[in-house]
């Protein structure tokens, strides 16, 4: 049964888990503030169970109400591909908008919901934006769901979209169509200095630090097309982290008659990790008892990246263990292949723990965890801030180099590994070394990685490391205070409820 006066907010994101994960903490805030709102998420079978797991993180006092009003609907099953438009979205949205029932493929459950009033859509899901506009005759407000920073918007999406971007392919293209279009969208990688207010200057090639093959990026071009053509943006960032960049972005959007609501950070504390994470927690307990607080390094690069030549990873791990520093290494990438001798290295060590999957937030929240060697994805950065664990950055691509530079250069609240860069573009001279003596330039060799790891480990235990940790804790506290009464995130969230939810 539905209530006619209910407001219905529709969410949809591309397959990337990093774009979907922040939905639940944002929606939880809506439910705690408004009893007349329901939310639906149209997703796939790949994301469906993960969103349910995020719901289970909510406190018991709000969880039951959230589950009653939050409708997670698998509309695509498992037959999905990251770059290919989710063709099921359009017919399902038309049915939902017309008052017809829609079916969740994961459960078989049928939903009959009031037509959505507001859509919050991933800027990379051009197919969804076009379908909503066409179906509603441009009557439904669409807000961009920006699960990244203002600096990322400035550096990646300030240019106009390529004229080669074909809307028909964005909406209905097959994998073959999308890959053909992608091959036409490449941009030259240059030594042009990329700099915006609040974003540390870097050469263009520094945004490709790991030798990842570069071709056209259909997501970037799609974002450029739609980012500023909707009604506004919900941005998962904070002025405490990047105030100058947010000011510039808000000025741009205001000039277009659009609003930006800065509601970062968006992260939920993890409940106890349960049986699945029991072994790693037991290892951390053991290290805590033997070596004390903040003695362990946690190392993980997210769910995708694995280098074509992993020699630098093995070198880093060997140096960490040789120093006597306990290590937890998670490697969820499906491309990761570990030689037998490297596995034996972990098996023979009393201070090393290796696992494909790890309960990241359970590790970050453990008192034994002192540093986080990370790719610098925005979700991981927010989680590290939540638990006050400073990062040692090893960025791979996309927004990660800029995230690393912002924390390390602007806030002096982390370290970045430079010698680990690889490939034609990754091994170009970094901007921060532009005036350096030639003998002080990075050489990007495996031996240089070993020296750099030893140096960073030494710094992490020195007065410099204490200063970095203090800066990181202060930054994290300021960022997370945004949700306190009168804080930036709270004010912007209340404005969103008043100006958007209350208006449409």
Query: Both tokens of residue 410?
Result: 């602007």
Judge contact between 219 and 19, C-beta under 8 A.
Answer: no
Judge contact between 374 and 394, C-beta under 8 A.
Answer: yes
CA dihedral 231, 236, 241, 247 (to 10 degrees): 0
Mean pLDDT within 55-59: 92
Query: Both tokens of residue 348?
Result: 């023979």
Judge contact between 249 and 297, C-beta under 8 A.
Answer: no
| pLDDT of residue 501 exceeding 90 | yes
pLDDT at 212: 77
| pLDDT of residue 487 exceeding 60 | yes
Mean pLDDT within 162-171: 95
Mean pLDDT within 54-81: 94
150-157 helix and 239-255 helix, angle to the nearest 10 degrees:
50
SS3 263: coil
113 vs 111: CA distance, rounded Å: 6
Judge contact between 402 and 185, C-beta under 8 A.
Answer: no
The DSSP bridge partners found for residue 70 are 39
pLDDT at 441: 97
378 vs 18: CA distance, rounded Å: 8
pLDDT at 371: 98
185 vs 191: CA distance, rounded Å: 19
**Who contacts 12 (Cβ-Cβ below 8 Å, separation ≥6)?**
41, 42, 43, 89, 119, 120, 121, 122, 125, 128
CA angle 21, 403, 335 (to 5 degrees): 60
Q: How far is CA 174 from its chain centroid? A: 26
Sheet holding 415-416, edge to edge: 352-355, 327-330, 296-300, 369-374, 391-393, 415-416
The per-residue pLDDT for range 351-399, each reduced to its tens digit, is 999 999 899 999 999 999 999 999 999 999 999 999 999 999 999 988 9
Question: 468: closest CA among 314, 294, 300?
Answer: 294
| pLDDT of residue 19 exceeding 90 | yes
The per-residue pLDDT for range 45-56, each reduced to its tens digit, is 999 999 999 999
pLDDT at 2: 47
The per-residue pLDDT for range 101-138, each reduced to its tens digit, is 999 999 999 999 999 999 999 999 999 999 999 999 99
| pLDDT of residue 217 exceeding 90 | no
pLDDT at 213: 65
Q: Backbone dihedral region of 376: left (phi > 0), alpha (psi from -120 to 50 degrees) or beta?
A: left
CA angle 393, 395, 401 (to 5 degrees): 100
First to last CA, the chain: 22
140-154, 204-218, 251-265, 377-391 — which is least confidently predicted? 204-218
Question: 224: closest CA among 277, 144, 162, 175?
Answer: 162
Give the pLDDT band (50/70/90) at residue 502. Answer: confident
Q: Are strands 415-416 and 391-393 parallel, antiparallel or unpaired?
A: parallel
**Who contacts 471 (Cβ-Cβ below 8 Å, separation ≥6)?**
411, 412, 413
408 vs 413: CA distance, rounded Å: 5
H or E stretch covering 103: strand 102-103
The per-residue pLDDT for range 253-310, each reduced to its tens digit, is 999 999 999 999 998 877 665 666 899 999 999 999 999 999 999 999 988 788 777 9
**Who contacts 257 (Cβ-Cβ below 8 Å, separation ≥6)?**
none
Backbone angles phi, psi at 211, to 5 degrees: 65, 20
Q: State what percent of residues in the chain have pLDDT above 90.
A: 88
Q: Are strands 110-111 and 102-103 parallel, antiparallel or unpaired?
A: antiparallel
The DSSP bridge partners found for residue 233 are 144, 260
Give the pLDDT band (50/70/90) at residue 1. Answer: very low
Global pTM reads 0.95
On the 0-12 / 13-18 / 19+ scale of CB atoms within 10 A, 459 is middle
Q: Which residue did the predictor score with more confidence, 1 or 331? A: 331
pLDDT at 306: 81
Q: What is the largest CA-CA distance in the chain?
A: 73
| CATH number attached to the domain at 275-480 | 3.40.50.2000
The per-residue pLDDT for range 406-462, each reduced to its tens digit, is 999 999 999 999 999 999 999 999 999 999 999 999 999 999 999 999 999 999 999
Query: Both tokens of residue 379?
Result: 């979700």
pLDDT at 307: 78
């Amino acid at each position: 049964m539905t209530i006619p006066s209910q407001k219905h907010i529709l969410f949809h994101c591309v397959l990337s888990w990093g774009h979907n994960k922040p939905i639940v903490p944002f929606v939880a805030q809506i439910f705690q503030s408004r009893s007349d709102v329901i939310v639906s998420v149209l997703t796939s079978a790949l994301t469906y169970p993960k969103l349910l797991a995020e719901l289970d993180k909510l406190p018991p006092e709000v969880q039951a109400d959230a589950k009653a009003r939050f409708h997670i609907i698998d509309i695509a099953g498992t037959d999905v591909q990251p770059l290919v438009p989710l063709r099921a979205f359009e017919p399902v949205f038309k049915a939902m908008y017309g008052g017809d029932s829609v079916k969740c493929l994961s459960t078989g459950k049928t939903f009959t919901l009031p037509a959505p009033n507001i859509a919050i859509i991933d800027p990379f899901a051009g197919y969804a934006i076009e379908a909503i506009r066409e179906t509603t005759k441009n009557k439904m407000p669409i807000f961009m769901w920006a699960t990244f920073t203002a600096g990322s918007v400035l550096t990646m999406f300030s240019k106009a979209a390529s004229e080669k971007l074909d809307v028909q392919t964005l909406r209905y293209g097959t994998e073959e169509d999308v890959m053909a279009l992608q091959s036409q969208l490449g941009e030259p990688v240059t030594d042009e200095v990329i700099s915006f207010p609040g974003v540390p200057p870097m050469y263009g090639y520094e945004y490709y630090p790991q030798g990842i093959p570069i071709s056209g990026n259909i997501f970037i071009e799609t974002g450029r097309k739609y980012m500023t053509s909707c009604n506004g943006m919900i941005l998962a960032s904070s002025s405490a982290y990047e105030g100058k960049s947010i000011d510039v972005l808000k000025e741009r959007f205001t000039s277009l008659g659009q609003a930006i609501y800065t509601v970062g950070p968006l992260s939920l504390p993890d409940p106890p990790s349960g049986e699945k994470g029991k072994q790693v927690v037991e290892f951390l307990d053991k290290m805590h008892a033997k070596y004390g607080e903040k003695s362990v390094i946690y190392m993980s690069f997210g769910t995708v990246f694995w280098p074509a030549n992993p020699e630098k990873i093995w070198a880093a791990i060997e140096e960490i263990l040789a120093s006597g520093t306990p290590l937890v290494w998670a490697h969820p990438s499906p491309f990761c292949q570990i030689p037998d001798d490297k596995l034996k290295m972990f098996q023979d060590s009393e201070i090393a723990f290796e696992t494909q999957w790890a309960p990241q937030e359970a590790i970050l929240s453990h008192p034994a965890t002192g540093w986080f060697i990370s790719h610098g994805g925005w979700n991981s950065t927010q989680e590290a801030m939540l638990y006050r664990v400073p990062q040692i950055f090893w960025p791979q691509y996309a927004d990660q180099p800029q995230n690393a530079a912002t924390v390390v250069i602007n806030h002096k609240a982390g370290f970045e590994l430079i010698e680990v860069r690889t490939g034609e573009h990754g091994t170009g001279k970094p901007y921060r070394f532009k005036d350096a003596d030639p003998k002080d330039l990075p050489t990007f060799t495996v031996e240089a990685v070993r020296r750099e790891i030893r140096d960073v480990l030494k710094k992490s235990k020195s007065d410099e490391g204490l200063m970095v940790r203090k800066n990181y804790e202060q930054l994290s506290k300021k960022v997370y205070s945004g949700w306190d009464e009168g804080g930036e995130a709270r004010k912007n969230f209340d404005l969103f409820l008043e100006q958007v939810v209350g208006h449409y």
